[in-house]
Amino acid sequence: MSSTYVTVAIPYVNADPHLGYAYELVLADIYARSRRAAGDKVRFLGGTDDYSLKNVLAAETAGQPTGQFVNQAAARFQALTEPLGLSFDDYIRTSTDPRHRPAVHRIWQAAAGSGDLYQRHYEGDYCVGCEQFYDPSELEDGHCPEHRAATERVTEENWFFRLSRFQDYLDELISSDRLVIRPEPFRREALAFIRAGLEDISVSRSIERARGWGIPVPDDPAQVIYVWFDALTNYISALDFGDPQSGDYQQWWLDADHRIHVIGKGILRFHAIYWPAFLASAGQPPPTRIQVHPYLTIDGHKISKSQGTTINPTELIDTYGVDALRWFFARDVNNTVDTDFTTDRMTARANDELANSIGNAANRLVTLAHRYLAATVAAQPPLPELTDLPQQVTDAITHFDLRAAAHLIAHAATTLNTHISATEPWTIAKDPTRHTELSELLGTHLASARHIATALTPVLPDLATRLHHQLGHPNQPLPQPEPVYKRIT
């Protein structure tokens, strides 16, 4: 039995959650559910990044105290858990969880003890949206390449981290796949950044510019810890890293077989370069995998809180249901390039594959069993083509290939429907002398449908539950037939 610790990036709470972040949550949830079903011990973490200048500025715009604004906004992110069907084992808020600040101070003091923190004057171009300084060569006409917004010229005396000291370590870590970064284009991107030469980075901000919002630098109350140094630590603060005797940290970080971060491509640098370096400086092991996903777009534009291109995932679920949204995420979102979202595309896919294919097959089979076999069907193995379906889907999800997993499920449903049409059980049913044959045939079909429901469980847990109930158990009376998935109109 393996142990797997899986996390999502914790978001700023400067605006309402959007569909792009919902995709990340579902991606990680499908993985966590699949590993649990495979027998792994799993801990799945979510949370919010509260100490951000973006949050401060949004609170000022709203005319609210920062703490009050952040509390209200963070609650909206945590409220995604139920409508999206997420299976979090833990959830951390960096401004209120008592585990967080001691962990941040411990990793800071460990880096200081390693000689990797020092103070110096700095002047640079800062993007509030990214919460990072940019070298002039990285800017596009003076604008941040990620947010397309003008940067701010900042002059400060800050604490710096000796990132340059870790260039060789990071190169070997990633090139050897001791830290797996996938998909492959993002691994190449991280290595290219490292091999271009790493410079030391600022890891604190003046308390004035932070408006007093943040975790103070130990023994330097004039500075607060840089939000990314603070936020990344959530992955281990949730394991009580602040307590040197923490059993959770021992179990889920030091001893875990898999330590996996699921993130969007825009924050690759922080997770693949800064975070392993911070950990190494503190004498701690790195994550084992960083799974990167591209963006969702609307009309070719990134879904973004700051740019106003958003879709509220909760409102979408209220209208179309969680199964349709999770199925779109699994079936249609590309692994390496941005995917454009439309409700028409989502509903067409759900109607075709969830209602017409999977749902219709279940309804036809159970109806036939009730009509001709007193609702009881003999136990039979599934169609040979579907025998290995649950394991094949598990294998695809293990590699975070949700499109392959969803394709396998959709293809299996097509295979089952084709076999039903070819064997015409309704024709066999008209001959009372062939009811044993009918029972065996429907038993094969129902076993195949149950295999599809099992394979579907981590992807669409709600629909899978309804399917398993409808399909019943071999040699036992089946429930009355009722639609497991109604077409979206």
Instruction: Pinpoint the alpha helices (H) of 282-358.
Output: 313-320, 322-332, 343-349
Distance from C-alpha of 67 to C-alpha of 418, rounded to nearest angstrom: 58
What local confidence, expressed as pLDDT, does residue 142 receive?
A: 66
| C-alpha closest to that of 218 among 50, 104, 131, 121 | 104
From the candidate CATH numbers 3.40.50.2300, 1.10.1030.10, 3.40.640.10, 1.10.730.10, the one assigned to the domain spanning 342-471: 1.10.730.10
Between strands 201-202 and 152-161, the pairing is antiparallel
Q: Which long-range contacts (CB under 8 A, 24 or more apart) does 59-63 make?
A: 60/211
CA atoms within 13 A on the CB side of 149: 15
Dihedral of CA 300/126/228/187: which sign?
Answer: positive
H and E: helices and strands count for the chain = 21, 16
Distance from C-alpha of 14 to C-alpha of 52, rounded to nearest angstrom: 9
What local confidence, expressed as pLDDT, does residue 120 receive?
A: 93
DSSP state of 272: I
As given in the structure block, the two tokens for residue 182 are 């996938």
DSSP state of 355: I
Distance from C-alpha of 388 to C-alpha of 296, rounded to nearest angstrom: 32
Distance from C-alpha of 190 to C-alpha of 177, rounded to nearest angstrom: 12
Q: Are 326 and 25 in contact (CB under 8 A)?
A: no
Which helix (H) or strand (E) covers residue 42, if one does? strand 41-48
Q: Please report the DSSP string for 164-211 in residue order.
A: GGGHHHHHHHHHTTSSEEESHHHHHHHHHHHHT----EE-EEETTTTT
Distance from C-alpha of 120 to C-alpha of 269, rounded to nearest angstrom: 23
Distance from C-alpha of 8 to C-alpha of 362, rounded to nearest angstrom: 35
Q: Which residue do the tokens 């875990």 mark?
A: 256
- Grouping H, G, I as helix, E, B as strand and the rest as coil, residue 448 is helix
Q: Residue ranges of the domains in the chain?
A: 3-313, 342-471
DSSP β-bridge partners for residue 140: 143
Q: What is the pLDDT of residues 312-338, one digit of tens each?
A: 999 999 999 999 999 999 999 999 999
Distance from C-alpha of 117 to C-alpha of 428, rounded to nearest angstrom: 79
Q: Check: pTM over 0.85? Answer yes or no.
A: yes
| C-alpha closest to that of 197 among 228, 171, 172 | 171
- Any idea what the Cα angle at residue 358 is, between residues 357 and 361, rounded to 5°? 80
Q: Are 396 and 405 in contact (CB under 8 A)?
A: yes
Q: What is the pLDDT of residues 242-262, one digit of tens each?
A: 999 999 999 999 999 999 999
What local confidence, expressed as pLDDT, does residue 147 receive?
A: 53
User: 392-407 burial, b for 16+ CB within 10 Å, e for fewer?
Assistant: bbbbbbbebbbbbbbe
Q: Which residues in the chain come in under a pLDDT of 50?
A: none
ω into 183 cis (within 30 of 0) = yes
CATH fold for domain 3-313 = Rossmann fold (3.40.50)
